[in-house]
């Protein structure tokens, strides 16, 4: 009788697997670890897989981008997410491995593009970030570094041009909705939208969690104030779309901006579930 043929061994994992293979690789490693580990409780101090998924990496990338956009304080330097390239998540130290709701740490690399990118324009650059999602205040801590930043002189020129356009607008601004019902933004209103997006980046960064993702859906009102100095000072109302709950959340935001200076933002969002977390203020 011939000996029974053994099945071929599982392929050895390779490093830096992009996209979907990364998820399969981590699942394979988790299964092997579970089979080899002895029975009994695990050391909670040891970093554990937190059920890494594409969605969690996307959440971390969005949070890092909102923080980056707000910190830059420049409408011309706004970035949008192009693609998540790789990442790893682990449960925060001291948290139970079976309960990722206690918080998690995400290390990732992602590519970006200019928010107002033109057709055919290449990706803006890569970013590496470490994002801590926590279920108590402060809710997240972010460390992000990016390459291929917009050249400083060009950014200053574009910001000053937008600043001049805003200063030339005559109050009161009669803004009903940006974009309109057809999704169109009139070129004359583009500076208002860009500044509103910049200020909203702080609000979305504050509110993004490992489970909640916000998107700026519409700007519904704008009131620009006359000031004794050169700063742009205006109030506006936005509608934020939260994807997992499909809720539309109105937020009133007050923004003070001048090219090259830190951005100042105050806001209040109409939320019935967590009113204690519905407002904030920050200077970039």
On whether residue 2 sits in a domain, the answer given is no
**C-alpha dist (Å) from residue 75 to 163, 172, 230:** 10, 22, 17
On whether both 259 and 158 belong to a single domain, the answer is: yes
CATH number, residue 180: 3.10.450.10
**Burial (CB count within 10 angstroms: exposed 0-12, middle 13-18, buried 19+), residue 262:** middle
Task: Measure the CA dihedral 17/23/25/31, to 10°.
Answer: 170
SS3 90: strand
Number of domains in the chain: 2
Per-residue pLDDT of the chain (284 residues; tens, 9 = 90+): 555 545 444 444 333 333 444 434 433 444 344 343 333 333 333 333 434 578 899 999 999 999 999 999 999 989 999 999 999 988 655 444 435 556 789 999 999 988 876 655 556 688 999 999 887 666 678 999 988 666 788 888 999 999 988 888 776 666 678 998 888 998 888 889 999 999 999 999 999 988 888 999 999 998 888 777 789 888 999 999 998 889 999 999 999 999 999 999 999 999 755 544 455 555 55
Q: What pTM, to 2 d.p., does this model score?
A: 0.72
Residue 238 placed within a domain: yes
For residues 196 and 120, membership in a common domain is answered with no
Residue 73 to residue 159: CA distance in whole angstroms: 10
Residue at a domain's end among 146, 170, 202? 146
Whether residues 135 and 187 share a domain: the answer is no
Does 194 share its domain with 161?
Answer: yes
User: Do 254 and 159 fall within a single domain?
Assistant: yes
**Same structural domain, 224 and 207:** yes
Pair 141, 165 in one domain: no
Asked whether residue 219 falls in the same domain as residue 258, the answer is yes
Domain limits at 103? 20-26+45-146
Residue 82 belongs to some domain of the structure: yes
């Amino acid at each position: 009788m011939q000996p029974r043929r053994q099945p071929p061994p599982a392929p050895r994992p390779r490093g830096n697997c992009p996209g979907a293979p990364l998820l399969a690789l981590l699942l394979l490693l988790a299964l092997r670890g579970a089979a080899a580990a002895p029975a009994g409780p695990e050391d909670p101090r040891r970093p554990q897989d937190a059920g890494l998924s594409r969605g969690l990496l996307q959440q971390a990338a969005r949070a890092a981008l909102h923080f980056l956009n707000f910190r830059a304080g420049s409408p011309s330097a706004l970035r949008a997410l192009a693609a998540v390239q790789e990442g790893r998540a682990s449960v925060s130290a001291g948290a139970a491995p079976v309960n990722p709701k206690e918080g998690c740490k995400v290390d990732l690399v992602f590519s970006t593009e200019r928010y107002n990118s033109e057709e055919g324009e290449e990706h803006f650059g890569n970013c590496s970030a470490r994002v801590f999602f926590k279920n108590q205040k402060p809710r997240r801590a972010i460390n992000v570094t990016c390459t291929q930043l917009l050249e400083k002189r060009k950014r200053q020129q574009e910001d000053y041009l937008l600043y001049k356009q805003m200063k030339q607008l005559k109050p009161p601004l009669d803004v009903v909705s940006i974009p309109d019902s057809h999704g169109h933004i009139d070129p004359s209103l583009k500076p208002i939208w860009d500044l509103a997006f910049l200020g909203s980046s702080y609000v979305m960064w504050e509110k993004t969690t490992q489970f909640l993702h916000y998107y700026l859906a519409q700007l519904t009102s704008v009131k620009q104030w006359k000031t004794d100095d050169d700063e742009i000072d205006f109030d506006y109302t936005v509608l934020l779309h939260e994807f997992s709950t499909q809720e539309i959340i109105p937020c009133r935001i007050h923004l003070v901006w001048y090219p090259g200076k830190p951005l100042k933002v105050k806001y209040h969002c109409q939320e019935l579930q967590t009113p204690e977390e519905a407002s904030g203020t920050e200077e970039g």
